[in-house]
Amino acid sequence: MTATVSFYNNWKAAVDEAVLRSATVKATLHSSSYTFSAAHSVYADLTNELATALGYTSGGATLASTTWGQTGGTATFDAADTVWTASGGSIVARRAVLRVVGTINGQVDPLILSILLDATPADITCTDGNAITLIWNALGIFTLG
């Protein structure tokens, strides 16, 4: 299945490499009832995050092993793949959203990007005992040049 990634408008203006080097970044899952808007700017703007149940915890998963590097004028952000394992039932989601935890340029928990998990678009369903894995590109989650 093909995913589609869209950046939030505020993120483009808020990028601060020094802050990102030490920031906690989280990924949240959202139902098909959430409508992406590039104008959303902070975590509080999001709706329809999955509730804590079936292997998902509201507030999202912290990205592990994050790196923010720069080579030849291109900055790259990367992390270890993010995994939720369904337990006791199925996890059903349409989007994943990445955000920074904390305050950057006066914005509390600013949004980075939204991922439409199936470009059809359709919900993805992860059945009991299986995992939803956000497999990040080997070249990084995103680059800025």
pLDDT of residue 27: 98
User: What is the spatial distance between Cα 130 and Cα 86, in angstroms, rounded to a whole number?
Assistant: 6
Average pLDDT over residues 10-34: 80
Q: Tell me the per-residue pLDDT of 61-99, one tens digit each, with 9 for 90 and over.
A: 999 999 887 788 777 889 999 999 999 999 999 999 999
3-state SS class at 81: coil
Least confident range from 12-16, 27-31, 58-62, 91-95: namely: 12-16
How would DSSP label each residue in 101-137?
ESEETTEESBEEEEEESSTTT--EEE-TT-EEEE---
pTM score of the predicted model? 0.90
pLDDT of residue 12: 57
For residues 18 and 113, the model is more confident at: 113
